Chain A
Amino acid sequence: MKGPLRFVGVLLLLAAAALGAAAVGSVTIPPGRIPAIICSALPGLKNLVKSAWPQVERVIILQVRLPRILLALFVGGGLSVSGVLFQGTLRNPLADPYLIGVSAGASLGAALGLLFLIPRGLAGFGFLPFFALGGALAAAFAVSRLGRRRGRLEPTALILAGVAISAVLTALVSLLMVLRIQNLQDVYLWLMGSLSGRGWAHFTLAAPYILAGLGAALYLAQDLNVYLLGEEAAHSLGIDVHKLQRNVLVVGSLLAAACVAVTGVIGFVGLMVPHALRFVVGAEHKRLILNSFWVGALFLLLADTLARTVFSPLELPVGIITAFVGGPFFIYLMKRGSGFYG
């Protein structure tokens, strides 16, 4: 299939999934009605459709389900691209924002923001991504420092450093929660990784960062392809290896931080999606990044739809679903032995 045709196909697929997700829930809404409801909210199109639906359905679609669906798509895409970047630079199939400690850094940053600034009215909600980003970058740099041998990134050392840093940061988050007990419930739910109750504010907060991160990732794609050959070969082909590693850590952390700031820590998406796609589309980074974005988006949307419907009216944190799929997938990767970067 040609590029543009494939692009339209992917959009249609995502739209169909979104339509299905918008239809199901505590109140089932006929899918045929949903496009009309959405059109009724768009400036140019609202006169074209007749409003023939209960007002409550309009509210559910426009205020509850649509922003949550869009957020799931963007966060799923963002986490996956973040995973592509980390796996590409660290040349380690285990690398994803969750395992190398970037997510933990982001959650500590965001927890600090939530716990200390918001109750005092010092910071609006809009500052949260900055706190998360600060935490994510600090963790990324600490881990990349500790993961070096003789000045070169060493995949095994890096994962070990990530695990250690993650443990310390997660303990700090727990400590903060205990010390500031009144907000414990909020933070705890947020750390579980969930899209529950997220609205337009969350979407508009995270989406620009995720789109910027996607653009930056595509900008780095060609250099990452060369970097796959190894540090010395990449250097000999004109790539400033240290600069590239730094840029990739920053962009990957930005993507992870934007996601963690609005949904909490959702693990395994950034690990699984790029990995599975490498089998299908190969290691070329432009292809891998674009495909990871939409597959990750679709995956998280499906997981979130399951999370809110399977035990309805009880909602599961989506992190539980992704972990249920991700855990076994991880064991599968371990068992088959990943020959990708050997």
Chain B
Amino acid sequence: MAKMRLQGVSFAYGTQPALKEVSLDLHPGVFYGIVGPNGAGKSTLLKVLNRFLIPQKGSVFLNERDLGTYSLKELAREIGVIPQRSQYFPSTVEEVVLLGRAPYSYRFQRPSGRDMEIAKRAMEAAGVLSFASHLVNELSGGERQRVTLARVLAQDTEVLLLDEPTAHLDLEHRIRTARLVQKKAREGVSCAAVLHDLNLVSNYCDYIYVLSRGELVAEGNPEEVFTPDLIQKVYNVSVPTLKHPQTGRPLIIL
């Protein structure tokens, strides 16, 4: 059974279409890569999956139940999101990560011991525990991004939607983040990440959806999708590909 399902979804900002008749599934335990050129509709797709945007046409299902029938709080316990842009403000890393527990708490309730424990584990996994008491607005771009990752891990959801979670990260943390998401997928979480680094996608994602101008133009595992032909067609550049010496996955030479 698919964890999430998009059926014939179209979305337009005003008169400008962003998604056209997109149908796709997200299964438990799979790390999906969502790729495509700028303006292809990747971020819009994640926002529709999270009900931040309501499509004009088509349906979205979570656990085979229409997404619109969930309360926002129920949704927040099912789907965790790293948006493309986050805001930072003078709160400590720990306070921000604890906000990930908000869907489980009631008003005026202090975080429980269990919340603290989950937040601590999330901070450890995202590598931010060592500066838990620092103010987030004083951290570097990459550190902030890992705080956001810790926050979404603390939310403890069965679906993770990540919009460019590695954009400001150095090599080490880019790979660490990809491995972390891969590990969540192995634990049964449905993970979908918008990524621009095609080699990262090729090496870590199990299944790839390729969007172009709002349409789903290709899907499949890395070997099926990352061919010179498809890259030429979608990105309008000609690049050679190689095989990764260890994993055998396609490598794109820039």
Contacts and interface: CB of A to CB of B under 8 A. Distances in A.
A279 B107 CA distance: 26
A238 B51 CA distance: 11
Contacts of B51: 235
Given A235-B72, A236-B76, A284-B95, A340 B89 contact: yes
Contacts of B52: 232, 235-236
Interface of A: 91, 150, 219, 222, 225-226, 228-230, 232-233, 235-240, 278-279, 282-284, 339-342
* Residue of A232, A240, A279 with most chain B CB atoms under a 10 A cut-off: A232
14 contacts: A222-B105, A222-B107, A225-B95, A229-B87, A229-B151, A233-B86, A236-B80, A236-B83, A237-B76, A237-B103, A279-B90, A282-B92, A284-B91, A342-B137
Interface in B57-102: 71-73, 75-77, 79-81, 83, 85-92, 95-96, 99-100, 102
Contacts, number: 86
Nearest to B104: A238
B104 to A, nearest CB: 9
B8 to A, nearest CB: 24
Contact of B81 (A219, A233, A278): A233
Nearest to B80: A236
Nearest to B109: A222
Given A235-B52, A239-B72, 10 more contacts: A222-B102, A225-B99, A229-B151, A232-B52, A236-B83, A237-B99, A237-B102, A238-B103, A282-B95, A284-B91
A240 B91 contact: no
A236 B52 CA distance: 8
B91 A230 contact: no
A204 B200 CA distance: 65
A236 B99 contact: no
A171 B168 CA distance: 49
B47 interface: yes
A292 to B, nearest CB: 14
B86 A230 contact: yes
* Residue of B79, B80, B88, B108 with most chain A CB atoms under a 10 A cut-off: B88
B102 A226 contact: yes
Nearest to B87: A230
A228 B50 CA distance: 19
A339 B138 CA distance: 9
B91 A283 contact: yes
A91 B87 contact: yes
Contacts of B108: 222
Contacts of A91: 87
A240 B72 contact: yes
B106 to A, nearest CB: 9
3 residue pairs, one from A and one from B, having the closest CB atoms = A238-B76, A236-B81, A232-B83
